[in-house]
Amino acid sequence: MGWCVRPLALVEQKGQLRYRARKGSPFGRFGGIGDVAGMQACQAKQGHDHMTTTKPRFRFLRRYTADSLLWRLLTEKLPEHKGKYALAMGAMVLVAATTALSAWVMGEIVDAMSNPDDKQTIYMVALAVFAIFVAKGFASFAQTVLMARAGNRIVAQMQKSLFKRLLGQGIAFFNTTESSDLLLRVTQSAQMARSVIDTIVTGFVRDMLTLFGLVAVMFYQQPFLSLISLVVGPAAVLGVRLILGKVQAIMAQEMAGLAEIIKVVQESSTGARVIKAFALENVMQARMNGAVRDVEKRANKMVTLESATSPLMDTLTGAAIAAIVILSSTSIAGQSAGTPGQLMSFVTAFLMAYEPAKRLSRMRVSIEAGMVGVRMMYQLLDMPLTLVEAPDARELTVGPGEVTLENVSFEYVGGASVIDDMSLTFEAGKTTALVGPSGGGKSTILNLLLRLYDPVSGAVRIDGSDIRDATFTSLRQKIAFVGQDTFLFSNTVMANLRVARPDASDEDVYEAARVAYAHDFIEKLSKGYMTPIGENGAFLSGGQRQRLSITRAVLRRAPILLLDEATSALDSQSEAYIRDALEQVSEGVTTIVIAHRLATVMNADKICYLEAGRVTEQGTLQELLAMNGAFKRLYDVQFRNA
């Protein structure tokens, strides 16, 4: 089944050809797989991930078929675990051999029991039966354990690889990707890949060899009747082909339904307060009911299709057995029915061949269903990274800490320009405040400095070095960040603070908390610094979460400090304390502050007024007031009463 889309398009902008998401097929929705090798080669040649190229040397277009994905999965994973799979296949060969022998020995049992006086033969047959079934039991055990261990390792490795790929993606990827999609791909896709491998290995080794062995016994005992029984095979194949066409579409719809269930649960958990405040319980329940109903409906269709092979095989097998019973009682073309033992062995082999034949007939259906998850897995693994280090990236050495924007322009994918040809210098060791209306590009400047995004044109430099030439780790170790949306891990207070500097001593943490006016409230918690704070600090107030975020920035001891509405969640008294604390922390540190309340930036060394992606005014507080421009009007509005 063919599959191809083009989620990114080459567009010309400012004299360059750039990749951008097509409308209706956002980059993060996994609309397609790109020519990763071509893109990485282009990035390596440029030295940076601008997502640009001067010539369209490759197309962001790839065609994936189920067979090519299946081949890729097998060639990647089977050799990697060849030891376990080789032993498991050896055990399967033994299972197949002992299964065929158990059918053959039935004839010997009947013949031996027909002559009760021949004790030696009876003992030998009994010993053979015991040995065959003991060997089969141990071989089945070994096969199951080895396959499970290999499969579990594959699932673990794939989930690690998927998560590593997620961590390597830039913020743009997560902005356009629903977390429910990611959860589904990481949790379900690896399991489905494992089931596909298990189905193929067991089908082509154990079931196929078992079927061949039993057919060999049938032909050895009753050649003529065996030929008649083979009419079952072609009829079964034709029936299965009719089923396959519907399997993949239904499975893809079922996976989409599962993603919707995950999404509803996530939104109900994270948005519980809004749901309660607006009495949306019935709305959310209706969404969940619809998603569950769709998944149930498609799951029932899948079961129906997978089970359709059973009546098909049962009917064909029943017809074949009935014909064999009739023909075995007559002599056709001079062929006798043979001894009772031969006939019993033949019938036993034929009946035992039913199960592996049925599994083989359903194998293609199971593989086709599993390939939906395999495709989802490789889509995520092959998705080009939205932001990568330069191939020759080096450690960033920070001197005084001067930050410079040189003719920087930026726009988010699918959006209008946010920053337009901006040049701005943040002096080393001083505090620069960014003020102005929302949408002016203030937070975007911090995102560019953290290199969460790269500019469309221009460069961001620290002490003259382009940050795109630095490793991510060395860049971000030089920066402490406090945002207005504080994120905390579901862990203890101490664990959340130590993310800023894992090697910090307890005393270092305590001192940073004192500076941020967080130590006192932490000490009053039930277990102090070892108190669990719940998901995203659910057990803390907004102001407490913000003070922990500021504590992390203090503990970081970075030469550059970024504050994005750092005191927005604090009351007036706490804000005054934090302002005093931040003044201490920012002393001698290059500090960039975003604030809507001008009271928090009155002491800044320089204030920049941003509007529509441009710096329209900049200078000291007194200089801006003297200009009698946009900043003066904002100042008058906020301090009118004073």
In total, how many domains does the chain have?
4
What digits encode the pLDDT tens for the residues 313-328? 666 666 666 666 666 5
What is the separation, in whole angstroms, between the first and last Cα of the chain?
72
Are 183 and 268 part of one and the same domain? yes
Element (DSSP H or E) covering residue 13: strand 8-13
DSSP 619: E
Residue 494's pLDDT band (boundaries 50, 70, 90)?
A: very high
Report if residue 77 sits inside a domain.
Answer: yes
The pLDDT, as a whole number, for residue 365 is 75
The pLDDT, as a whole number, for residue 252 is 66
The pLDDT, as a whole number, for residue 3 is 31
Are 365 and 240 part of one and the same domain? yes
DSSP code string of 565-618: STTTTS-HHHHHHHHHHHHHHTTTSEEEEE-SSGGGGTT-SEEEEEETTEEEEE
Residue with the bigger pLDDT between 366 and 473: it is: 473
> Is 547's pLDDT higher than 80?
yes
Report yes or no: 409 and 458 within 8 Å, Cβ to Cβ: yes
Structure tokens at 427: 């002096």
Pairing of strands 457-462, 614-619: unpaired
Are 318 and 370 part of one and the same domain? yes
Report if residue 581 sits inside a domain.
Answer: no
Are 297 and 223 part of one and the same domain? yes
Report if residue 446 sits inside a domain.
Answer: yes
Report yes or no: 146 and 88 within 8 Å, Cβ to Cβ: yes
The pLDDT, as a whole number, for residue 174 is 82
- The dihedral region occupied by 338, where left means phi > 0, alpha psi between -120 and 50, and beta the remainder, is left
- The single-letter code of the amino acid at 413 is V
Q: Which one of 347, 382, 417 terminates a domain?
A: 382
From 248, 250, 243, 362, select the one nearest 314 (Cα to Cα): 362
Residue 547 belongs to domain with CATH number:
3.40.50.300
Name the 3-class secondary structure at 626.
helix
Are 431 and 335 part of one and the same domain? no
Report if residue 176 sits inside a domain.
Answer: yes
The pLDDT, as a whole number, for residue 90 is 92
Report if residue 58 sits inside a domain.
Answer: no
Structure tokens at 490: 């579901």
Report yes or no: 161 and 381 within 8 Å, Cβ to Cβ: yes
- The single-letter code of the amino acid at 552 is R
The pLDDT, as a whole number, for residue 56 is 32
Are 505 and 470 part of one and the same domain? no
Q: Which domain range does residue 188 map to?
A: 66-382
What digits encode the pLDDT tens for the residues 153-194? 888 888 888 888 888 888 878 877 777 788 888 888 888 888
Cβ-based burial of 164 (10 A; exposed 0-12, middle 13-18, buried ≥19): exposed
Q: Which residue has the tokens 């330069």?
A: 390
Structure tokens at 400: 């005084």
Report if residue 60 sits inside a domain.
Answer: no
Report if residue 342 sits inside a domain.
Answer: yes
Are 158 and 81 part of one and the same domain? yes
What digits encode the pLDDT tens for the residues 406-437? 999 998 766 678 898 999 999 998 999 999 88
Residue 100 belongs to domain with CATH number:
1.20.1560.10
- The single-letter code of the amino acid at 375 is R
* Residue 601 CB partners (closer than 8 Å, separation 6+): 431, 433, 435, 593, 595, 607
Residue with the bigger pLDDT between 298 and 505: it is: 505
Q: What is the pTM of this model?
A: 0.70
Structure tokens at 621: 């507080």
Structure tokens at 156: 């673990």
Are 315 and 242 part of one and the same domain? yes
Are 465 and 425 part of one and the same domain? yes
CA angle 632, 634, 639 (to 5 degrees): 90
The pLDDT, as a whole number, for residue 459 is 93
Q: Which one of 329, 353, 382 terminates a domain?
A: 382
How far is Cα of residue 532 from the mean position of the Cα atoms in its chain? 27
d(CA 456, CA 449): 14
CA angle 407, 411, 412 (to 5 degrees): 150
Structure tokens at 45: 């040649």
What is the arithmetic mean of pLDDT over 360-372? 78
Are 536 and 564 part of one and the same domain? no
The C-alpha R_g of the chain, in whole angstroms, comes to 35
d(CA 396, CA 388): 16
- The dihedral region occupied by 120, where left means phi > 0, alpha psi between -120 and 50, and beta the remainder, is alpha
d(CA 109, CA 102): 10
What is the arithmetic mean of pLDDT over 255-267? 76
How far is Cα of residue 223 from the mean position of the Cα atoms in its chain? 54
Among 131-145, 208-222, 224-238, 401-415, where is mean pLDDT lowest? 224-238
Report yes or no: 596 and 434 within 8 Å, Cβ to Cβ: no
Q: Which residue has the tokens 């943490």?
A: 509
Per-range mean pLDDT, top range of 57-61, 122-126, 247-251: 122-126
Q: Which one of 500, 535, 557 terminates a domain?
A: 557
Report yes or no: 48 and 41 within 8 Å, Cβ to Cβ: no
Are 103 and 197 part of one and the same domain? yes
- The single-letter code of the amino acid at 468 is R
What digits encode the pLDDT tens for the residues 59-113? 323 344 556 788 888 888 888 888 889 999 999 999 999 988 888 888 888 877 7
DSSP code string of 325-361: HHHHTS-BTTB----HHHHHHHHHHHHHTHHHHHHHH
d(CA 323, CA 325): 6
Tell me the pLDDT of the chain averaged across its residues: 77
> Is 467's pLDDT higher than 70?
yes
Report yes or no: 50 and 454 within 8 Å, Cβ to Cβ: yes
Are 451 and 532 part of one and the same domain? no
Report if residue 398 sits inside a domain.
Answer: yes
d(CA 445, CA 426): 11
